[in-house]
Structure 1
Amino acid sequence: MFGDPRNPVGLSSSPDYALVGLLRIPAAQSSPWVSLTRRVLFAIALLFTAATVVYVGRHGYSDNTGDELSFLDAMYYATVSLSTTGYGDIAPVTPSARLVNIIVITPLRVLFLIVLVGTTLGVLTERSRQAFKIQRWRHTVRNHTVVVGYGTKGRTAIDAMVGDGIQVSDIVVVDTDPVALEAAAAAGLVTVHGSATKSDVLRLTGVQRAAAVVVATNRDDTAVLVTLTARELNKTAKISVAIREAENTHLVRQSGADSVVVSSETAGRLLGIATTTPTVVEMMEDLLTPEQGFAVAEREVEASEVGGSPRHLSDIVLGVVRNGALIRVGEPEVDALDTGDKLLYIRRAGK
């Protein structure tokens, strides 16, 4: 079902142009109506410029009716000239008028055609541009974070990561909901349309070279399958998974998750605490909001701190990460800090 990661087949081995629509690279975009309006206004401005030039030099033009050119005649000549129709009923006859045609009208004609043809070419080449961006992105993406699911949990996780300094360009979103993917793309995120339970879809995200994977699906069974697939493709990435029921925690961990968050129980505990000590919940929300107040952070132990106790530091230390395992402050194992330890501490947001 998951495929052999040593022999990529399917989507991951498809040519880049075949991935347009599935893998979407964000770019600065403006409304197509705004772009079209600008092009039309620019074309009209070119017409009026050409008509004004012809009207100013109207004595050098000949009308087959023999009358002197009016501004309407000048507009008519500019229209048929810039569109290269050229009926010939109005034509420059004097040397000065012909010189103006060469120096002014001809460049305006070329520019006018560029504006008109450019709109068509822009539509026709958009797919090629997307394919080129996909090719470039797939060859350069490294150490990024893959977020599976762009619902409430996924969006909140991304907000927290961005608040902690992770660049939006280093986050890839996978979802099956086109509406959610549109919202993610509007936020500047790279998106992949498909089910993350399939190894080919995860390969499109570059999960093999990802530093972290966040699984925020709506179903626990889906979370288990996604975790298993992600761990199969990447043995070293940090995989964090959100599930609804605590009884599924062991399944997710056996599938390869490094961190498991039980959303229903966590919310239930906070609700219970809020009935008696709402200020505790307020402080917890403060710690989980990196943009303001306090936040929980991690840092390396400094050389001057090695051998000392974490309880004697100026920072409020909550725990020590040693050899990948969290040891809470107060345990005898961390009475003396070692080189390579990491500290979980409380810092002021913005520092």
Structure 2
Amino acid sequence: MSEDLRETPGRKSSYKVSLPEGDSSPWAALGKRLLAAMLILVGTVLLVYFDRHGYNDTADGTVSFTDAIYYTTVTLSTTGYGDIAPMTDQARMINAFVVTPARIAFLVLLIGTTLEVLASQGRDAIRIARWRRKMGHHVIVVGYGTKGRSAVKTLLSNGLQKESIVIVDTGTTALADAHEDGLAVVTGDATRKEVLLRAGVREADQVIITTNRDDSNVLSTLTARQANPKAWIIAAVREQENATLMKQSGADSVITSSDAVGRLLGLTSLSPTLGSVMEDLLSYGQGLEVAERDLLVSEVGMQPQSLPDQVISVVRDEKVYNYFDPVVTRLARGDRLIVVRSARELPWAPRPGTHNEDFANDDD
């Protein structure tokens, strides 16, 4: 997959915005038009050939199958040389009420096909302009490789709409994969400011940077932070020694991929059971999951340990406290909870906040 966003020295930056095709692709419609035109052509050839005795060929007086093909093509194209003509009343009626409507339908299909090709770029421009007008408070994912796809899958699984995600990548493979997943793509180098501006970085709520090179990630983070000082930027680094540099570049959260994988491998080596549990927590949709949720009104004043969910941390005033910290001995309005719970709601483990309960927000 294309996770390596690199800039070619001496090459002018280029970028392109492309949206996934709808349920009916223009090229599919084009193929249907051509198929319909062929059916009209074949049907008319057979009609003329079966009624060939009603036609006169000035060359030899008879109409062969080749003559039927010739007559059909010149008739449907409105050329009409007149060397083959209907002579009987039946042949003339067939030409008036069958061949003539077929000729009109054939011309309409040809004109429609031409307009379909000519209008495709204009239609794409209109779609992109409409997409830009609706864009805002979205998430930009830089790099649609393994990490990028996993991040998008998690976002979608947690309720984010596909229309709220924009992919930035340089690779054609990533473009095809993202379009297959129904996502908009800006093809270009994310270290270039104009590319991120095309992706709407100034209106984005979050930027997730997942390329496979730490230097590209640092430059992309700097560019994104300069364009949008308020966006929440999450960046991946391969080496722990680059995490500090990434923070200094403007990333709000840094994930060290190699260290995370190494720790998981070490845990699994020391305790296969513990490794399985950690892998389960990192997977979405099955077994256990780590989630963040609002505090309910009924839970205000309770101890974190007494809640149905297994609370591991409490977020209060933008700070994270462990569940046993004396500061959060009693839960208060505005708190948010980091919990370990079942990935699916079960009859004996209902999910708090999913049954019209009131949340204990500061505004209540």
TM-score, length-scaled by structure 2: 0.82
Q: Deviations over 1:179-213 (max 9, x none)?
A: 32232223222111222122211111111111211
Q: Which residue of 2 aligns with 1:151?
A: 145
Deviations 1:61-95 (A, max 9, x none): 44335746555544432222112221212223556
TM-fit CA distance, 1:330: 0.8
CA apart distance, 1:58: 5.2
The answer to whether the aligner puts 1:219 opposite 2:213 as a matched pair is yes
Please, which of 254, 259, 262 is the counterpart of residue 256 of structure 2? 262
Distance 1:150 1:24 in 2: 15
- 1:86 match: 80
1:140 paired residue number: 134
Answer yes or no: is the 8 Å Cα contact 1:146–1:207 preserved in 2.
Answer: yes
Indicate the residue corresponding to 1:160 in structure 2: 154
Distance 1:195 1:31, change over 3 A: same
In 2, Cα distance between the equivalents of 1:58 and 1:34? 36
Residues 29 and 124 (structure 1 numbering): CA distance in 2 closer, same or farther, change over 3 Å?
Answer: farther
The equivalent residue for 2:106 is: 112
1:147-168 CA-partner distances (Å, limit 9, x unpaired): 1112222122222222223223
Q: Structure 1 residues 272 and 235 mapped into 2: Cα distance closer, same or farther (>3 Å)?
A: same
The structure 2 residue matched to 1:301, chosen from 274, 291, 295, is: 295
Q: In structure 2, what is the equivalent of residue 320 of structure 1?
A: 314
Distance 1:229 1:219 in 2: 16
Query: Secondary structure at the residue paired with 1:136?
Result: helix
Distance across 1 between alignment mates of 2:60 and 2:220: 81
Partner of 2:3: none
Q: Which runs of 5+ in 2 are unaligned?
A: 1-11, 346-364
24-33 vs 223-232, which moves further: 24-33
Does the CA-based 8 Å contact 2:209-2:221 persist in structure 1?
yes
> Could you tell me which residue of structure 1 aligns to residue 245 of structure 2?
251
Distance, in Å, in 1 between the alignment partners of 2:193 and 2:28 is 40
Tell me if 1:175 matches 2:161. Answer: no
More off after superposition, 109-118 vs 233-242: 109-118
Using the TM superposition, give the Cα deviation of residue 135 of structure 1 relative to its aligned residue in structure 2, in angstroms: 1.0
Instruction: Please say if residues 242 and 262 of structure 1, whose CA atoms lie closer than 8 Å, have aligned partners that are also in contact.
Output: yes
Distance apart, 1:262 and its partner CA: 1.0
Q: One-letter code of the match for 1:262?
A: T
Gaps of 5+ in 1: 1-9, 12-18
Q: Secondary structure at the match of 1:172?
A: strand
- Secondary structure, aligned partner of 1:338: coil
Who is 2:57 aligned against? 63
Partner of 2:19 in structure 1?
Answer: 25
Structure 1 position 48 matched with structure 2 position 27: no
Aligned residue pairs, count: 334
Amino acid paired to 2:315: V
**Are the equivalent residues in 2 in contact too, given 1:224–1:255 (CA < 8 A)?**
yes
Indicate the SS of the match to 2:36.
Answer: helix
Range with bigger deviation, 92-101 or 165-174 = 92-101
Q: Compared with structure 1, are the counterparts of its residues 33 and 146 closer, same or farther at alpha carbon in structure 2 (3 Å cutoff)? A: closer
Tell me: CA distance 1:134–1:231, structure 2 relative to 1, closer, same or farther (3 Å). Answer: same
Q: Is the 8 A contact 2:30 2:116 kept in 1?
A: no
For residues 128 and 191 of structure 1, the distance between their equivalents in structure 2, rounded to whole angstroms, comes to 18
Q: What's the Cα RMSD here?
A: 2.8
AA at the equivalent of 1:348: S
Matched, 1:197 2:205: no
In structure 2, relative to structure 1, the CA distance for the partners of 1:59 and 1:185 (3 Å cut) is same
1:89 aligned partner, one-letter code: D
| Contact 2:26–2:120 (8 Å) recurs in 1 | no
Q: In the alignment, residue 112 of structure 1 is paired with which amino acid? A: F
Pick aligned residue for 1:237 from 209, 231, 241: 231
Tell which deviates more after alignment, 198-207 or 220-229. Answer: 220-229
CA-to-partner distance for each residue in 1:169-188, whole Å, 9 max, x for gaps?
32111122233223222322
SS at match of 1:333: helix
Q: What percentage of residue pairs aligned between the two structures are identical?
A: 48
The residue type paired with residue 121 of structure 2 is R
- How far apart in 1 are the matches of 2:283 and 2:313? 19
**Are the equivalent residues in 1 in contact too, given 2:315–2:336 (CA < 8 A)?**
yes
Partner secondary structure for residue 229 of structure 1? helix
Q: 1:85 to 1:271 in 2, by over 3 A?
A: same
Alpha-carbon distance, 1:305 to partner: 1.0
Query: Does the 8 A contact of 1:164 with 1:290 survive in 2?
Result: no
